[in-house]
Amino acid sequence: MENMSYLPISKRCAAFLATRTGLAQEKEIILSYVIEVLVINLLNICLALLLGFFLGVLPGTVACLVTAFFFRHTAGGAHSNSPWRCGLVTVTVFPLIALLGLHLSFLSQSYIDTISAACVLMGLVKILQSAPVDNPAAPIISPLRRKKLKTGSLIVLLVLVLVLIFLRQSPWPYAQQVSLCLALSVLWISLMLSSYGHRIMAWIDGISIKKERFERR
């Protein structure tokens, strides 16, 4: 089996655990990859929060990350071929969405309500139409599991709508900013459930491929 891991720390941790538990070599490689993905995800979250902090949109960035987390585990969406490239998207996109939410929060309440409603409606349409969108490397074959994931996506969306209603009445200074970040995150998730989202991730993968070819020359 091809070695899927690139971080030395993941290889060392996997080797240590494999020695202690007597894992076969193939399982050790898989364990190394799992550890690497966990490390990368943790690093991505920390970097996204750090960027959000420096941009002055930490609450909005947290809202975006939480929304993406729950929808990713139910609705799925377009994936990159590499966890590193997925991480790059996470670190850049969500703080930028939070920054957009900050600027839009200065609009009147009627405009904010319209934007939020449009984003939620788009999310509902894409969930009913496409969710769950699985990863080609791990396709969801079971119809029952697909149904449960779609139902889970709708429940997450319903909870998010309730949070938006609560924030609309909240005196919290960041309420409008966070509510817009939640709504805009749903819009981003909707994009990732569509064919356009797959094209964007394929384009990102293509940039990396071209770079590798250039470096080989």
Which has the higher per-residue pLDDT, 142 or 100? 100
In this prediction, residue 25 carries a pLDDT of 65
| Angle made by CA atoms 124, 126, 127, in degrees to the nearest 5 | 65
CA terminus-to-terminus distance, the chain? 28
**What mean pLDDT is predicted for residues 178-199?**
93
Across 21-30, 70-79, 106-115, 122-131, least confident range: 21-30
CA 97 from centre of chain:
12
At 203, is the pLDDT very low, low, confident or very high (cuts 50, 70, 90)?
confident
pLDDT confidence tier of residue 8, bands split at 50, 70 and 90: low
Encode pLDDT of 159-177 as tens digits: 999 999 999 999 999 999 9
Specify the DSSP class assigned to residue 34: H
Which burial class, exposed, middle or buried, applies to 6 when counting CB atoms under 10 A from its CB (0-12, 13-18, 19+)? middle
Q: What is the pLDDT of residue 70?
A: 93
Instruction: List, for residues 49-87, the tens digit of each pLDDT value.
Output: 999 999 999 999 999 999 999 998 899 888 777 777 888
Tell me what the pLDDT averaged over the chain comes to. 84
Q: pLDDT tens-digit profile of 31-51?
A: 777 777 788 888 899 999 999
The pLDDT-based confidence of 1 (bands split at 50, 70, 90) is very low
Q: Tell me the sheet residues that pair with 76.
A: 133
pTM, two decimals, is: 0.82
Contact (Cβ atoms closer than 8 angstroms) between residue 54 and residue 26: no
Structure tokens at 75: 């609705």
- What is the SS3 assignment for 9? helix
Task: Calculate the alpha carbon distances from 139 to 48, 76, 86, 135, 136 in Å.
Answer: 29, 11, 18, 6, 5
| CA triple 63-84-199, angle to 5 deg | 80
Helix axes 25-54, 58-72, angle to 10 degrees: 150
Reported for 202-210, long-range contacts at CB under 8 A and 24+ positions apart, including other chains, are 204/80, 204/85, 204/88, 204/89, 205/80, 205/81, 205/82, 205/85, 208/82, 208/85
Q: Is 135 helix (H, G, I), strand (E, B) or coil?
A: strand
The mean pLDDT of 211-215, rounded to a whole number, is 40
Q: Which of 40-49, 76-85, 96-105, 208-217 has the highest mean predicted lDDT (pLDDT)?
A: 96-105
